[in-house]
Amino acid sequence: MAAPLLRVALRGALGQVRHVAPVRPARAGAPVARVYAEVEREFGVLAPPVALHAPSPEVLAAAWTMLRETLVAAGRADRAQKEAVAAAVSRANACPYCVEVHTTAIEALGGSAGESAMEPLSPSLVPELVGVAATFHYLNRMVSLFLGDSPMPPGAPAAARRAARAVLGRLARQGADAAPSPGGSLDLLPAARLPEDLRWAAGTPSIAGAFARAAAVIDEGGERAVPAPVRELVTAELAAWDGTPPGLSRAWLEPALSSLPPEHRAAGRLALLTAKAAYQVDDAVIAAARHTDAQLIELTAWTSLTTARLLAARLVP
């Protein structure tokens, strides 16, 4: 009984989505409803970090496909090892929501949240584990922008939080025991060529297919929603960035924006913060840059995946 109740509660947790109007299951059109149904069936719950993408159905499918084919589907690495990568990346990105979810999963699977997640990395595991890292470099940024610090409602009593964590742990064990076959989500998106910077995924066709499709869709969204000068600036800034979070100061930000035309600086500010310090994005930054909900998802998804692709590529010798 507890798991169905938690599923209902987490559907209600869509109300915690910020800055965009969440798409409720009862009001979802066919493309969104199809993804929602697959997420609930194979992940166990309608996870808000996936569902927040629903204002752009194509980006929703891309986010789920990356998560499903790396973390959820059966593979060479076990679920506990993949959860350890997810938690480690989430800690590095200061994403407490994702840390709580995936630390709970590790504990339920008998692993240790403090164990090394990526070393030593067998070549046969590169597509899966680097794929998980790339997925969570992406998701951490989107969660930091559009969700709060915890999957539990604000102010929930300690007993309720413990009960919810227990149910989340049970769902993680069930997911590990019933891992779906690889490749099952690929038909959500059209086939695409694998970009060169994602060649680390080539050894596992389902993961290569997921990232090729997701990258194509999110790049198309970026072309619609992100002005070309902003895309050029983000690409240049990331190429010179060592991946170290800049901390709480924004002293680095305004000089970087000075090369943009004034009309693009609001979008540039949101994009650069999303890339390097998503935890610094506040309501004013969102309000200054936003247009429609779909455009806001597409702008931040493009920035998040562009950053994730660069950081993941650096994990591979």
CB 221 within 8 A of CB 212: no
The rounded average pLDDT for each run of 10 residues, N- to C-terminus, in the chain (317 residues) is 50 83 95 96 92 98 98 94 95 95 89 61 91 98 95 71 70 72 97 98 98 98 98 97 88 95 97 97 94 96 98 92
What residue spans of 154-292 are helical by DSSP H? 158-177, 205-225, 228-239, 253-257, 265-277, 283-289
* Spatial distance between the Cα atoms of 142 and 278, rounded to a whole number of angstroms: 8
pLDDT on residue 282? 95
pLDDT on residue 2? 44
Q: Is the peptide bond before 120 cis (omega within 30 degrees of 0)?
A: yes
**DSSP-derived secondary structure letter, 109:** T
Q: Where are the domains of the chain?
A: 2-181, 205-313
* Spatial distance between the Cα atoms of 211 and 197, rounded to a whole number of angstroms: 11
Is 95 noted as a catalytic residue in this protein?
A: no
* Spatial distance between the Cα atoms of 227 and 208, rounded to a whole number of angstroms: 28
pLDDT on residue 1? 38
pLDDT on residue 34? 98
Catalytic hit among 14, 86, 98, 133: 98
- Of 128, 138, 120, 121, the C-alpha closest to 78 is 128
pLDDT on residue 248? 82
